Amino acid sequence: MQLIDGKLISEQIKQEIAQEVEALKAAGKKVPHLVAILVGHDGGSESYVAHKIKDCQQVGFESTLIRYEDDVTEAELLAKVEELNNDNSVTGFIVQLPLPKHIAEQKIIEAINPAKDADGFHPINVGRMLIGLPSLVSATPAGIIELLERYKIETKGKHCVVIGRSNIVGKPIAGLMMQKAYPGDATVTVCHSRSQNIKEICLQADILIAAIGSPGFVKEDMVKEGAVVIDVGTTRVPSTLTKSGFKLTGDVRFDEVSPKCSYITPVPGGVGPMTRVELLKNTLLAYKAQQ
């Protein structure tokens, strides 16, 4: 069993991005500028956005955090999105999800200029990705693809089972794994909460991608010997063993599943760091397209 170290790979990618930014500075050019909009004070979102700002500093990007309280109106948020769309000093931006119930998330996502959509959630980017055109790809699926590529994991003709059908992970990773490309060229099956015989389907997987958001969902008897397991789950569960009072738990029961795997991602330290670094890659990609 080999551990897929997302932390290590993400640090390598950050160094590569930092070198490109240094070259831009040396040539007297402006550097990429990423803006994050944060609404309210959700603990997970606060932590995630703080990490993103730190990542920007690490690679030499300019970054800006725009905060709103929970009671911000949809109209105010849409006005800010439009302002950022038209601001030439902004390379890319994200609106951190989830948003308060009174704001339609999809309306906000669709208001973002696809060329500045650092999260890769806009339907135009999703559609372009699905038919194999250059696009800003949703960060978590892009991170998974990057891990498979950097670990030289064979995907051609392999049976890839994706558990979960979210617009942010399940659907795009299924689309990417079936592209005529490497990583890709896989036979893809998508399972979800209404699927029957999930265990039997998972046992056929050469590559199992768990993105259902259910802690410990994938058990030892659902994974075949030698499978590659990618755990996308990051659920905060209460814990008496940590200072914060919670721990991040994946969708896979790591201790019992890992001995059967050829490769497996840990939680934390697997897909999570890659999601953050792909946001930087998208911002750099957007920057290049805007020049």
Query: Concatenated DSSP letters for 99-139?
Result: PPTTS-HHHHHHHS-GGGBTT--SHHHHHHHHTT------H
Alpha-carbon gap, residue 91 to 19, rounded angstroms: 18
Q: And the tokens for 132? A: 């194999």
Catalytic residue among 55, 117, 119, 206: 119
Residue 195 CA to residue 173 CA, distance in Å, equals: 18
Do the Cβ atoms of 206 and 227 come closer than 8 Å? Answer: yes
Other Cβ atoms closer than 10 A to 149: 15
The question of whether 96 is a catalytic residue gets the answer yes
In the three-class reduction of DSSP (H, G, I as helix; E, B as strand; rest coil), residue 114 is classed as helix
Cα separation, 26 vs 212, in Å, equals 45
290 in catalytic set: no
Q: Which amino acid is at 6?
A: G
| From 80, 96, 171, 281, active-site residue | 96
Closest CA to 62 of 83, 97, 93: 93
Q: Of 52, 158, 171, 281, which residue is the catalytic one?
A: 52
- In the residue annotation, 119 being an active-site residue is answered as yes
Q: Which two tokens stand for residue 190?
A: 């998508």
Look up tokens 């402006």; give the residue: 30
**What are the residue numbers of the active site?**
52, 96, 119
